[in-house]
Amino acid sequence: MFGKKDSLLGLDIGSHSIKLVQLNTTSTPPRLMNIGLSQMAGEAFVEGRVNRSELVGRSIQQLANHLKIKEKAAASSISGYEVMIKKIDMPSMTEEELGTRMQGELGQYIPYNIDEVDVDYQILDLSKDRPNFMEVLLVAAKKESVSEYASIVRGGGLEPVVVDVDFFALSNAFEAAYGINNEDSIALLDIGASKAIMNIVLRGVPIFTRGISIGGAQITERIRDQFDLSHEEAERVKLGESSLKLSPAELEDIFVSTVRKWLAEFKRAVDFYYSNFPDHRIAKVYLSGGSCRIAGLDQAFRDHMNLDVEIFNPLKQVEYDDKVFDPDYIDYVGPQTAIAFGLALRKAN
């Protein structure tokens, strides 16, 4: 039943907004129990990084109170920017053998003092053409980053039971909501305010991850500077919520030229992927994150990349009580809550 100890709150702490998702994962598809989002306090983040953790904590607390959330156990994620993800070739061996070998050889693969990092690894089933080899995905996060993050969550009155990595939360969300594509790889791209994360998934396995420094704040800042507005007013202008009369042509130009840069960055990341995985064609791109709502963004990606592009809404398949949650609201927030949704799927270990 809901409230079972193993159901965790999915908490995505973004530089622009906090997202909280609570699911009952004992039913298939999962059932939505609670969802909400609130704007991050100004100054809490500077240039995409936590600046004042007490403000972040307060914002978490306010959102949890507003949603009347009683559970404390949460899964949140550090950014892929703060972890090292590396794919290494190994001779074929069992998971147990790999464990032993890793203990001895870890220092070889990780550019940090191994006492200072938490390491996780997963065998990838990709080298079918080379039967004596296997590929291993190594993930190393500095213990300091993880514990700083955990203390922010505690500052919000919640218990950080799981600290995941945003890349993996995104691909878990996708797999749970849309299933596994068994032939080609797919590219997931979550565009937030200060960053975008790209995760290319092949047969359910994240094989290529990359942070891309693009995001919606770039547009807000250009509007702010060009029209000499406050950040808040510029954000309202961007969302079409301001009553100011500004030149539509100038605004259009800000959107178009910024998005053009995003496309160039994305293409560069995709080219880099292809230089590593020439045999695994990308079948489709799925966009999520608040900035994927920019009108016409999916079409711009489609035209520029010559690829099939779709907005990823993880809430498309979940069950929920439509007397509690307005279906229009669920459709609207879904893509922005992709990472929080992936986190809410996590179980307490």
Ligand X SMILES: Nc1ncnc2c1ncn2[C@@H]1O[C@H](COP(=O)(O)OP(=O)(O)OP(=O)(O)O)[C@@H](O)[C@H]1O
Which residues lie near ligand X (CB under 6 A)? 14-17, 48, 192-195, 215-217, 220, 235, 238-239, 289-291, 293-294, 336
Extract the tokens encoding 314: 């993880």
Q: Which does 17 bind (CB under 5 to 8 A by kind): Mg ion, ligand X, none?
A: ligand X
Distance separating alpha carbons of residues 108 and 130, to the nearest angstrom? 23
Question: Residue 192 CB, nearest distance to Mg ion (Å)?
Answer: 3
Question: What contacts 31, CB < 8 A, 6 or more positions away?
Answer: 2, 23, 24, 318, 319, 320
How far is it, in rounded angstroms, from Cα 75 to Cα 254? 36
Are residues 48 and 18 in contact, defined by beta-carbon separation less than 8 angstroms? Answer: no
Question: Which helix or strand (DSSP H or E) is residue 326 part of?
Answer: none
| Contacted entry of Mg ion, ligand X, none for residue 195, CB cut-off 5 to 8 Å set by kind | ligand X
> What does 224 bind: ligand X, Mg ion, none (CB cut-off 5 to 8 Å by kind)?
none
Q: Min. distance of Cβ 252 from Mg ion in angstroms?
A: 26
Which is closer to ligand X, CB of 134 or CB of 344?
Answer: 344
Using the minimum distance from each CB to ligand X, give the nearer residue, 192 or 334.
Answer: 192
CB of 50 to Mg ion, least distance (A): 13
Q: Shortest approach of ligand X to residue 211 CB, angstroms?
A: 10
- When CB distances are held under 5 to 8 angstroms depending on the partner's kind, the choice from Mg ion, ligand X, none that residue 171 binds is none
Contact partner, 216, from Mg ion, ligand X, none, Cβ < 5-8 Å per class: ligand X
* Rounded least distance, CB 108 to ligand X, Å: 33
Q: How far is the CB of 162 from ligand X (least distance, A)?
A: 18
Residue 317, classed as helix, strand or coil, is: coil
Minimum Å distance from CB 276 to Mg ion? 25
Sheet holding 308-311, edge to edge: 205-212, 196-202, 185-191, 282-288, 308-311
**DSSP readout, 299-313?**
HHHHHHHTSEEEE--
C-alpha to C-alpha distance for 298 and 308, rounded to whole angstroms: 9
Among ligand X, Mg ion, none, what binds residue 209 when CB lies within 5 to 8 Å by partner kind? none
Nearer to ligand X, 16 or 210 (CB): 16
Category of 306 on φ-ψ map: left (φ > 0), alpha (ψ -120 to 50) or beta: left
Among ligand X, Mg ion, none, the one that 193 touches (CB under a kind-dependent 5 to 8 A) is ligand X
Judged by beta carbon, residue 7 or residue 194, the one nearer ligand X is: 194
Q: Which does 7 bind (CB under 5 to 8 A by kind): Mg ion, ligand X, none?
A: none
Of 81 and 109, the one with the shorter C-beta distance to Mg ion is: 81
In the bound state, the residue with its beta carbon closest to Mg ion is: 192
Q: How many whole angstroms separate alpha carbon 198 and alpha carbon 285?
A: 10
For residue 22, the minimal CB distance to ligand X (Å) is: 18
Nearer CB in complex with ligand X: 50/307: 50
Residues that bind Mg ion (CB under 5 A): 14, 192
What does DSSP say about strands 83-91 and 133-142: parallel, antiparallel, or unpaired? antiparallel
DSSP string, 185-240: EEEEEEE-SS-EEEEEEETTEEEEEEEE---THHHHHHHHHHHT--HHHHHHHHTT
Residue number with CB closer to ligand X (199 or 291): 291
Q: Using an 8 Å Cβ cutoff, are 60 and 13 in contact?
A: yes
In the complex with Mg ion, the residue whose CB is nearer, 77 or 258, is: 77
Q: Cis peptide before 248, with omega less than 30 degrees from 0? A: no
